[in-house]
Amino acid sequence: MAEGSMANGESVFASWVDADPIPHAIIDRSLRLHWQNRAAMALLQHSSDLQEQDDRLFALQPDNQSRLELFVAHAGSSAASSMVILPVKKDYLIIRGRLIETSPGSKLIGLIFFSAQHFIDRSIISDDVKDIYRLTNGEHKILNAMMSGMNAEQISGNLKISLETVRTHIRRIYSKIGVRSREALFAQLQPFKFFAY
């Protein structure tokens, strides 16, 4: 290790990931859970769609269980998608997975869980954007609503402000960020997006 670095980096990393609000888990191809952080434990304890049964990840809807099994069976192959989308009550559970090669022939798969509804209901842009581009609180709220897919009329209704005020904020946001279109805005802010359940 380099001078001045932490001697027990693995322990620090494990503590950091365990405290992460994004659910993470490690499974094998039989869906056996080898590890999960606290957020994943909470998800599996409180979800009516995905649970831990006999130390295995289990989707309560048969179609979702089939999707999950197929996803895990092909994880790591060149033809496989790195995520599976499970329709759940009024939402979609998005599970991203990556093969973990701890040793030759390793069959462990790291998972991260996301909720599609999260992107509508919660902020998905780092708060750093507000400081970097000197956005007001109102502009930041409107920017987050735009990035979640809302148009000006929807933002007006959701935030209970006039349509003209929303449009004024959007013009100011475009000016401060240095773009002229919604597409350019999305491209400019891509590095600031984060995803959580």
Q: How many beta carbons lie within 10 A of that of residue 5, not counting itself?
A: 7
DSSP strand pairing (83-88 vs 24-27): unpaired
Domain 120-192, classified CATH 1.10.10.10, yes or no: yes
- pLDDT score at 145: 86
**CA-based Rg of the chain, rounded to a whole angstrom?**
20
Break the chain into its structural domains and give their ranges. 9-116, 120-192
Query: Global pTM?
Result: 0.60
For the stretch 135-189, pLDDT in tens is 999 999 899 888 877 899 999 998 899 999 999 999 999 999 999 998 889 888 8
Q: Convert the pLDDT of each residue in 74-110 to its tens digit.
A: 887 766 668 888 888 877 888 989 888 877 777 899 9
Which residue type occupies 58? F
The packing angle between helices 163-177 and 182-189, to 10°, is 50
DSSP assignment, residue 188? H
Average pLDDT, the chain: 85
Q: What is the pLDDT of residue 129?
A: 86
- What pLDDT is attached to residue 13? 85
Residue 123 has pLDDT above 50, yes or no: no
Q: What is the DSSP letter of 191?
A: G
Task: Give Dmax over CA atoms of the chain in angstroms.
Answer: 61
133 pLDDT higher than 80: yes
Alpha carbons 109 and 75: distance in angstroms, whole number: 7
Q: Pick the residue with more confidence: 189 or 118?
A: 189
**Tokens for 129?**
């954007």
Q: Which two structure tokens, joined as six digits, stand for 56?
A: 């295995």
Q: Do the domains spanning 9-116 and 120-192 agree at the CATH topology level?
A: no
Q: What is the pLDDT of residue 85?
A: 87
Q: Is the pLDDT of residue 21 over 90?
A: no
CATH superfamily of the domain spanning 9-116: PAS domain (3.30.450.20)
Q: How far apart are CA 138 and CA 185, in angstroms?
A: 17
What is the DSSP secondary structure assignment for residue 174, as one 8-state letter?
A: H
